[in-house]
Structures are given as structure tokens and as C-alpha cells.
Chains A and B, each alone.
Chain A
Amino acid sequence: MKEPTVLPTYQAKDFKSDLKPIWCPGCGDFGVVQAIYRALAAIGRAPHDIAFVSGIGCSSRIPGYTTAYGFNSVHGRALPIAQGIKLANPDLLVLVAGGDGDGFSIGGGHVPHAIRRNLDLTYIVMDNQIYGLTKGQLSPTSPKGLHTVTSGLGSLEEPVNPLLYTLAYGAGFVAQGTPADMAGLAEIIEEAIRFPGFAFVNVQSPCVTFGEDDQQVKAHRAAMKPLKSIGHDQTSRIAAMDLAQQYGQSLHTGVFYRNPAPAPTYDAQVRERQQAMAEKAVPRERILDMFVQK
């Protein structure tokens, strides 16, 4: 092996907090948090340069298990809070995470606005097709026909398609992963963090307690179709949308879309405007003059 000139500053274990996860043993979220530690180590930013925001749900406990600034906030409100944090301190690396219920049910209305505003955030949804924390009710991504405690005769609704949803609203980076492929998942999350703008990662994260057999890691491993292996063009939004329609039927993993010419982020534009205004601003001691009639 070649000698690197600089040894990595942070290792995955530097991002593991002292809090012991209370997730059910075997929960897919254990794999997701490991992938996040690895991605953060590869990025190399210090824990105090990172803010991790979530809503409410089993998956939303994830900031507590990560060494960084953390905010386990209100159900469905992770994105507005994260946008506020990023605007207040644009130098922070801001991660947002939560469940499919948090992101596409109660919080679904925030997603399009976060996308069109295009702040430099990485949004990771742990899509287990169920409400885990409240013990197994129907969620927005539950497949039609699913029997749960709130759909005893089987759900009559079509699921939300998180990939198509975010692609259609114009997200610059959309990807999907599963803890069945840890190396692939860590890589996707790292790429999402590096993308300059709003990046969305849908993680098929199995709920071992309330989830279906065909949604577990073993089933994922058998069904997975890495996008790299089918020669998908990740610079084409149309090709990505075409593939994304297979959500729920085929498990495609990897980057669906990455804008080859990323648009300027909202935070960068705000900074630019602040600088332009600061140049024209009157000195502090003359501020009152603006309001005093001469």
C-alpha cells in the first residue's frame, strides 16, 4: 500500500457517541448509523463542525448516537429546523434524518420547499414502510394491501414514492441505499454530503419488529440491483425518474441523479447578498441618521 502523506484526522469511531442505542436488536437503523460514522470519517470534518437534526421516530434517535451537535426535534419538523441552523451558521455541515412517516407524512409539506430553496443539506430518510416508534401503523410508504394495526383489512392507498417525489421537485442529488450493502451505503452518504446543495438519500432500513419479511436485509441482498451494474446515467433526471418509478417493485441502489452543474445554494446566495449589503451599509454610528428627519 502507498504511504499516505497525511493520516486521516477522524475515524468512524470518533463519531460514535456514548449513548447506547435502544433500537430493537437487528433494526436496520444500526447499519445506517454505522454508515454515517464512516461517511463522516471520510469527509474529515470535526464533530463540532457538524449539526445533526431529526424529527421524531425510532430513526430520529440517530443524532443521539452520533457525536456532533444534535437536535431530536418535533415530528415532521426536522427540515425547517435544519434550514434555520444552516442559515444561522452556514459553516456547519448539516445532516437531517428521520423516518418515512416523519418526512413524507406529517413533514411531507416541508420537502418541496427545502428542495426548491436548495440549502446545502443532506437529508437521510430511513424508509421502513411503517410507523416503528408508535408500534406498527400504516406509513406513507407502506405498500398497498399491507395489513397493520391501522389497516386490519389491508391498506387501500398507493404509497408515496420518495425517489420520484424528490426528483420531481428538482433535488440536485437523489440516491437510495440499504444496510444490506454497508460499503455502498457509506459511499452514497459520503457522496450526498459532498454534493453542494440539497441531497436526498432514501435508505431502505428494515424494521425487524413490524416490517414484512420481504423488507428485511436478507431479502434486500437477494433483490438489490446496484445502478452501477446496469450502466445508469446519473446525470439524466429523466433516466432517474424512469427508474424511480420502480420504487416498491425493484430495489435499485446507488445514485439515481446528480446534477452535473449544481445550482447555487440558498445559503451561498444569502451570504453574497449579506456581503453586498454590508458594503453599502452605513457605519454603525450613523444608523440613526436614516430615521432622523433633517
Chain B
Amino acid sequence: MEKTRKIDFKTLGLRDALDLAMLIEEEAMDRYGEFADSMELHHTPAAAKFFRFMKGIEQLHEAKLRGRREELYPNVPRVVTREMIYDIEAPETHEPRVHMTARDALKISLGAEVKAFEFFDAALKQVKDPGVGGLFEELRNEELEHQELVKKMIAKLPPDDAGDIADYEDPPVMQ
């Protein structure tokens, strides 16, 4: 599936690449926030807590990139918009499930990190600007580090509790 619209990696310059990277983090941050809200609403606290944690992580990444962008291009307006990217580092909306475990939530996040790695890896094959190449390489390698981090977190988790989904079923409702 297409992940970007109206972006030509061959002509992409560093300023737009930094903006793009920030938007990718922002999209992931918002999605994790939405997942956390949804999990809280559906009484799935362990997954909610993890998604909230991930929202914070993405926020930190975004802030780091923003600082760099402001230093390099102070007060230059942004041309790239959120509408140009689709679920690059953000986990996809169809992935969570009600009563999912923390392990399930971490696996979703691991999938998102793999996806982001693949995106930067594929983009690098088209990029011409050396500054953009450097940035994307750095971001791609960071995705690998994040994958390792999530894998370690998964390994530390206690075994899942075999709950019965029927305990949570509601009767049909009128509306």
C-alpha cells in the first residue's frame, strides 16, 4: 500500500525531510494516544498503560527532531503536511482488540517499528540529497534500536493470564 502522497524522495531536501520525520512521529504519537483512550474506555488497563507510554516516547522523538529543525531552519514555514503520510510509524487502526494483553500491545508496537524501518530503508534507495540520506539512515537505525528495546520488554513480561472472554460479554442493547 502507498505510504505517502505527493512526496518525491528523489528531490526531497533536508528541511522537508525533517518536517516529514516530525510528522511521522506526530502521527504515531496521536495513534498511540487514541489506542490508550480506547483501551481505557474498554477496561483494558495493561494495554492502555503501554500505549500511553509509547505516546510519551513518540512525543520525545518528535521534540528532538523539532529542536533540530528549529536550529537549522528557524521560522521557515512547513510545506509537508500530515495528509501526505499514512501509518508510517503509527500502528494501524485495525490492530488493537478489546481485552488484549500487554504482550499483544507490545507486539503491535514491534510491528510498527518494523514497518517504520522498512519505510526508511525503501526511501533511502531513492533519496539523492546527502543530508536527507544521513537523516534517514539515522532514523532507520533508531527503528532497529527500538525493535530491540520492545523485544526486551516482551521478554520481561510475566506469562499471560488465560482469561475467559465470556466474562466480559454484554447482553444485546436497544438503541
Residues of chain A whose beta carbon lies under 8 Å from any beta carbon of chain B: 1, 3-4, 7-8, 11-13, 20-28, 30-31, 34, 38, 41-42, 56, 133-135, 179-184, 186, 206, 208-209, 216-217, 221
Partner of B13, one of A1, A25, A179: A1
A67 to B94, CA, bound (A): 22
Residues of chain B whose beta carbon lies under 8 Å from any beta carbon of chain A: 1-3, 5, 7-8, 11-13, 16, 30, 34-35, 37-39, 41-42, 44, 77-83, 86-87, 92-98, 100, 172-175
Closest chain A CB from B50 CB (angstroms): 13
Partner of A30, one of B41, B80, B94: B94
A134 to B12, CA, bound (A): 50
Partner of A221, one of B1, B3, B174: B1
A101 to B7, CA, bound (A): 39
Chain B residue nearest to A217 in the complex (CB) = B94
Which residues of the partner chain B approach A41 to less than 8 Å between Cβ atoms? Answer: 81, 83
> Known interface pairs A34-B93, A134-B173. Does A1 touch B83 (Cβ–Cβ under 8 Å)?
no
> Known interface pairs A1-B16, A20-B38, A22-B41. Does A182 touch B86 (Cβ–Cβ under 8 Å)?
yes
A291 to B142, CA, bound (A): 82
Q: In the complex, given contacts A13-B30, A13-B82, A206-B94, what are 8 additional A-B residue pairs having Cβ atoms less than 8 angstroms apart?
A: A20-B37, A25-B42, A26-B97, A41-B81, A42-B83, A184-B2, A208-B97, A216-B94
Closest chain B CB from A59 CB (angstroms): 13
Which residues of the partner chain A approach B172 to less than 8 Å between Cβ atoms? Answer: 134-135
Chain A residue nearest to B172 in the complex (CB) = A135
Is A25 a contact partner of B44 (Cβ separation < 8 A)? yes
Which residues of the partner chain A approach B30 to less than 8 Å between Cβ atoms? Answer: 13
> Known interface pairs A4-B79, A183-B2, A183-B5. Does A25 touch B96 (Cβ–Cβ under 8 Å)?
yes
A181 to B80, CA, bound (A): 21
> Known interface pairs A1-B8, A134-B173. Does A217 touch B92 (Cβ–Cβ under 8 Å)?
yes
Is B100 a contact partner of A8 (Cβ separation < 8 A)? no
Chain A interface main SS type: loop
6 inter-chain pairs at a CB distance below 8 angstroms, sorted by A residue, are A1-B16, A12-B82, A13-B82, A25-B44, A30-B94, A217-B92
Partner of A1, one of B35, B80, B93, B94: B80
Which residues of the partner chain A approach B37 to less than 8 Å between Cβ atoms? Answer: 20
> Known interface pairs A1-B8, A179-B93, A216-B94. Does A25 touch B39 (Cβ–Cβ under 8 Å)?
yes
A106 to B30, CA, bound (A): 37
Chain B residue nearest to A149 in the complex (CB) = B172
Which residues of the partner chain A approach B80 to less than 8 Å between Cβ atoms? Answer: 1
A184 to B100, CA, bound (A): 29
Is A7 a contact partner of B98 (Cβ separation < 8 A)? no
Which residues of the partner chain A approach B98 to less than 8 Å between Cβ atoms? Answer: 24-26, 209
Which residues of the partner chain A approach B174 to less than 8 Å between Cβ atoms? Answer: 134
Closest chain B CB from A17 CB (angstroms): 12
Is A8 a contact partner of B83 (Cβ separation < 8 A)? yes
Closest chain A CB from B136 CB (angstroms): 15
Chain B residue nearest to A58 in the complex (CB) = B175
Most buried by B among A28, A208, A216, A221: A208
A208 to B2, CA, bound (A): 24
Partner of B95, one of A1, A26, A135: A26
Closest chain B CB from A241 CB (angstroms): 28
